[in-house]
Amino acid sequence: MTTEFETLIVEREAGIVTVTMNRPARKNAANGTMWRELLEVFDDVATDRHDRVMVLTGSGGAFCSGADLGDAADVAGRPGDPYLVQMRALGSVALRLHQIPKPTIAKVGGVAAGAGMSMALGCDLVVASESARFSQIFSKRGLSVDFGASWLLPRFIGMHRAKELAFFADIISAQQAAEFGVVNKVVPDDLLDQAVGEWATRLAAGPPLALSMTKSMLNNSFSLSMDQALEEESRSQAVNFATADTLEAIAAFTQKRDPVFKGR
């Protein structure tokens, strides 16, 4: 199933939602329309019970080259809004991506720069092709980091590495990104679709409620003490043991077959 948007291609199949940013002439730079459409899609994915996993990618050999600064009146939010209002609207898109209660995968081929790199980091998993390249390009544009990079980067790669990427705005290769801890996996260009498809299929077949609670606990872990984290684990497992999915998993284990999870 495909849903029509002006700047996105959204396809759904077997519990996998593939969201393709589709402005190839601009290397998928995100204008105000794209941010508004991404917000709508992220809301849909978060609430549609048939959606098990989301793959975010770009068309035309690029992931996303960042915000399109060609129309300064339409960065995000509503055209003509004051910059603070527009940037808060942009921030709401980043937060919505972070809060999607389902696994998300960034499939990065080509450039992921500025907010585009931050968007990839906002996904739960990042798979990059060998030719992919990344940059926190902001300082070269006279800007500070955005789309959650100030929060995401230090947590993923440590403060010193985060400052190195943000201060110098260098372009790094996919292999360097993997060494930094920015991406999970680097694969040959012609195997990118296959690698992401395999992960997405495995996640879509997983237990939706358990994966959702695991994601929430990991996302919140830096703000909790050990005893608070253990309490959250206890509550989550109590919920799991009351679900049909856990009973199905136990039955499948004893019967030596793969479980079929239905999210209830």
The per-residue pLDDT for range 130-186, each reduced to its tens digit, is 999 999 999 999 999 999 999 999 999 999 999 999 999 999 999 999 999 999 999
The per-residue pLDDT for range 175-219, each reduced to its tens digit, is 999 999 999 999 999 999 999 999 999 999 999 999 999 999 999
3-state secondary structure of 218: helix
Closest CA relative to residue 32, chosen from 70, 84, 59: 70
pTM, 2 dp: 0.95
Residue 130 DSSP label: T
CA-to-CA dists, residue 132 to 62, 144, 261, angstroms = 8, 23, 34
Helical ranges in the chain per DSSP H: 32-47, 83-99, 115-121, 149-157, 159-168, 174-180, 192-204, 208-220, 226-241, 244-254
Which residue(s) pair with 57 in the sheet? 20
CA-to-CA dists, residue 21 to 6, 18, 263, angstroms = 10, 10, 29
